[in-house]
């Protein structure tokens, strides 16, 4: 055991369930079930993380009441005995990995979408779900549940817990965060009932207390009950105050729950210029809420808190997690996205190999891919996450080869790293003086703190895998042929698209601005994709008068919905003017002449013009070589590009194929 983390890595109990350490994998929806059933992908996903060293695994949000309780088509389900055999397999692989198994049980309530459930959503009251960062849209008004229906749902939760126990799980977690039914009952804006389930804190917590009481009756005292709760719900539609949250935690403690996972909720489209995206979240950001709960319980009861708290929020920094536990702020640490990108994170910490932990950069594609696009979660760091059978086995190469990778961006690095791990001899060539490719631009905008953590990790990986890195030389066709490599991977990236209008030579590029070039007071950014908007954000923070002209009707469309919402809030907060469906026609010495979709021209004053109209694949080397090399691949931006997870996946796939 790593002596630097004696508290984090020490055993502890949740109720009567003993865990080997105090790190718990938080429940995160992957949406990869087979019509609600556990499949090979689900088994592999959780087996990897159990073997990776966590003390406990909380399996993702699982529906207790289909179809009304579903939030995605790929959601796991536990509302019938037919799901028990698969759940038993799942609990089994978690236990085989040395971790304890808990199942998160839930109902989506008013957060459900008609397109998924085939009917009007239900909720505590007929109050529509407001704009949610994660969902990205306000939902339709739900049908108010009757008291008989509420009691029936309470029983569905309890029966789901009983099925989990029969399947071999050590406990359940009741999900009461975000847009799920548990939080909806606790919120005085979502729950405006005047009967026994609404009107007062005591009535709003009744739903939970009834469920807990019934689970105890069915499952006994040796079966752990955890509640995941928002102790505050912020925003103009927020309905849980800090005193509310403290009261709820106190009542849960009195009800005998075995642990409380502490979080905050938020509703609002008006994110404002002070809101941060996940790429800039502080380490262990939810831990202070645990301190609030502890202080609140002591103040309101006169006694010290007795229920264990699970805190976290970007807690993959082991030093910060150790400090949180050692100081008594919480008894357990939950880690979510950090375990998606690095399944064996805890083992690496225990072995003193912290520099091998791939950081979560907070891009949000894992959530966005599910809730916005109806797919499975994907990751910008872990290429296999929720893809296919989710198998992370890297087979050794049957024939060892000499491999030349041309281009040191993310796709090229991943291909080189995986090929080298398989036993190939790999040389990586990068024309510039540093690896990283587009990452060297992507980490420049504001609030990209965690993007900056990725490059040191990549450099360390190339070192550990023995990849021979050659910097500062642009490789030609003749150079490649002279290498006599057995396999060639072209990952030559992209080039800025040319803006073919009069006066374009007067403009700067987004890269110029993000790299520190100065600008005038009045700036026009031509192009409203993610790079254009992030450039406008930086200029807005500098106090410039900024206008963004975008030919489509969408700004930062390639950005995850949560980050996009916050970015748009920043632009509004800094007074940036957004002009959708607007085409730049001419750049003069003092202005940009634009044309809207109706052909109307507008002249915008500009001391500085910035071009951010995107990139085009640079596949010239691949085209020159494709008929001359016996084994050649084209990946990453030179093969069409796309979102960052796809570049990493292409690199990983090719690295496994060679």
Tens digits of per-residue pLDDT, 201-213? 999 999 999 999 9
**pLDDT digits 0-9 by tens, 66-121:** 999 999 999 999 999 999 999 999 999 999 999 999 999 999 999 999 999 999 99
Q: What are 377-420's pLDDT values in tens digits?
A: 889 999 999 898 888 899 999 999 999 999 999 999 999 999 99
- Residue 553 binned pLDDT confidence (cut-offs 50, 70, 90): very high
> What string of DSSP letters covers 437-503?
TTHHHHTSSTT-GGGGGHHHHHHHHHHHHT-EEEES-PPPHHHHHHHT-SEEEE---EEEPP--SBT
Superfamily of structural domain 12-371: Aldolase class I (3.20.20.70)
| Strand 591-596 to 601-605 pairing | antiparallel
In the block, tokens 């994110």 appear at 271
Exposure string for 288-322, b = 16+ CB within 10 A, e = fewer: bbbbbbbebbeeeeeeebebbbbbbbbbbbbebbb
Distance in angstroms (rounded) separating the CA atoms of residues 230 and 175: 10
Q: Which residues are catalytic?
A: 180
| Overall fold of domain 402-496+616-657 | Rossmann fold (3.40.50)
- Please give the Cα distance from 393 to 391 (Å, whole number): 6
Q: Domain map of the chain by residue range?
A: 12-371, 402-496+616-657, 504-613
Distances (CA, A) of 135 to 118, 156, 179, 561, 567: 18, 25, 9, 8, 16
Examine domains 12-371 and 402-496+616-657 and report if their fold is the same. no
Minimal CA–CA distance to 512: which of 488, 479, 538, 541? 538
Q: How confident is the model at residue 60 (pLDDT cuts 50, 70, 90)?
A: very high
Architecture of domain 504-613: 3-Layer(bba) Sandwich (3.50)
Q: Which residues pair with 266 in a beta bridge?
A: 234
- CB 366, CB 337: distance < 8 Å: yes
Cα distances (Å, whole numbers) of residue 589 to 85, 208, 300, 343, 546: 72, 66, 67, 54, 17
Four-residue CA torsion sign, 123, 124, 129, 132: negative
What kind and span of H or E run contains 201? helix 201-204
Task: Tell me the C-alpha distance between 146 and 124, whole Å.
Answer: 8
Q: Residue 650 above 80 pLDDT?
A: yes
| Other beta carbons less than 10 A from residue 269's beta carbon | 17
Question: Cβ atoms within 10 A of the Cβ of 592, count?
Answer: 26
Contact 310, 261 (CB under 8 A): yes
pLDDT band at 308 (very low <50, low <70, confident <90, very high): very high
Q: Which two tokens stand for residue 70?
A: 């579903």
Please give the DSSP secondary-structure letter assigned to residue 261: E
Tokens of 567: 């970015």
């Amino acid at each position: 055991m790593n002596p630097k983390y004696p508290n984090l890595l020490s055993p502890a109990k949740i109720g009567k369930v003993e865990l080997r350490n105090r790190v718990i994998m938080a429940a995160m929806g992957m949406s990869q079930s087979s019509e609600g059933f556990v499949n090979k992908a689900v088994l592999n996903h959780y087996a990897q993380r159990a073997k990776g060293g966590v003390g406990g695994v909380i399996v993702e949000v699982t529906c207790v009441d289909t179809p009304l309780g579903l939030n995605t088509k790929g959601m796991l389900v536990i509302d019938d005995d037919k799901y028990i055999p698969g759940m038993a397999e799942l609990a089994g692989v978690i236990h085989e990995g040395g971790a304890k198994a808990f199942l998160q049980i839930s109902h989506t309530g008013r957060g459900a979408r008609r397109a998924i459930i085939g009917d009007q959503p239900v909720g505590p009251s007929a109050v529509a779900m407001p704009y949610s960062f994660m969902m990205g849209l306000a939902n339709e008004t739900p049908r108010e549940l009757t008291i008989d229906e509420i009691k029936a749902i309470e029983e569905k939760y309890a029966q789901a817990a009983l099925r989990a126990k029969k399947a071999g799980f050590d406990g359940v977690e009741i999900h009461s965060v975000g847009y799920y039914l548990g939080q909806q009952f606790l919120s005085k804006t979502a729950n405006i009932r005047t009967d026994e389930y609404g009107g007062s804190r005591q009535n709003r917590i009744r739903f939970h207390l009834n469920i807990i009481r019934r689970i105890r009756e069915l499952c006994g005292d040796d079966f752990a009950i955890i509640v995941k709760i928002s102790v505050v719900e912020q925003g103009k539609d927020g309905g849980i105050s800090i005193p509310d949250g403290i009261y709820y935690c106190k009542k849960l403690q009195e009800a005998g729950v075995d642990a409380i996972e502490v979080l905050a909720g938020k509703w609002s489209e008006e994110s404002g210029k002070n809101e941060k995206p996940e790429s800039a979240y502080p380490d262990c950001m939810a831990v202070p809420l645990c301190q609030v709960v502890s202080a609140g319980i002591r103040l309101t009861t006169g006694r010290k808190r007795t229920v264990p708290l699970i805190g976290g929020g970007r807690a993959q920094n082991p030093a910060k997690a150790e400090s949180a536990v050692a100081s008594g702020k919480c008894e357990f640490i939950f880690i979510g996205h950090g375990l998606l990108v690095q399944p064996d994170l805890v083992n690496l910490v225990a072995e003193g190999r912290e520099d091998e932990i791939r950081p979560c950069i907070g891009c949000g594609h894992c959530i966005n891919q599910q809730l916005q696009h109806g797919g499975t979660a994907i990751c910008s760091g872990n290429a296999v996450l929720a893809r296919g059978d989710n198998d992370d086995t890297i087979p050794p190469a049957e024939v060892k080869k000499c491999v030349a990778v041309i281009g040191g961006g993310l796709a090229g690095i991943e291909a080189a790293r995986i090929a080298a791990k398989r036993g190939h001899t790999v040389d990586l060539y990068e024309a510039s003086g540093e690896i990283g490719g587009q990452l060297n631009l992507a980490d420049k905008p504001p609030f990209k703190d965690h993007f900056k953590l990725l490059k040191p990790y990549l450099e360390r990986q190339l070192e550990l895998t023995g990849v021979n890195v050659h910097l500062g030389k642009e490789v030609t066709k003749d150079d490649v042929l002279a290498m006599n490599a057995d396999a060639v991977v072209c990952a030559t990236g992209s080039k800025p698209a040319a803006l073919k209008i009069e006066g374009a030579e007067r403009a700067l590029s987004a890269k110029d601005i993000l790299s520190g070039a100065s600008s005038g007071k009045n700036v026009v950014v031509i192009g409203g994709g993610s790079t254009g908007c992030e450039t406008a954000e930086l200029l807005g923070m500098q106090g410039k008068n900024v206008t963004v002209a975008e030919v489509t009707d969408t700004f930062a469309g390639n950005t995850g919905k949560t980050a996009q919402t916050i970015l748009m809030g920043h632009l509004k907060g800094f007074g940036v003017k957004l002009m959708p469906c607007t085409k730049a026609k001419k750049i003069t010495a003092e202005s940009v002449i634009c044309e809207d979709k109706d052909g109307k021209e507008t002249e915008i004053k500009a001391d500085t013009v910035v071009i951010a109209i995107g990139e085009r694949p640079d596949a010239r080397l691949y085209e020159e070589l494709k008929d001359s090399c016996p084994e050649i691949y084209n990946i990453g931006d030179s093969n069409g590009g796309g979102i960052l997870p796809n570049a990493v996946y292409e690199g990983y796939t090719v690295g496994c194929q060679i």
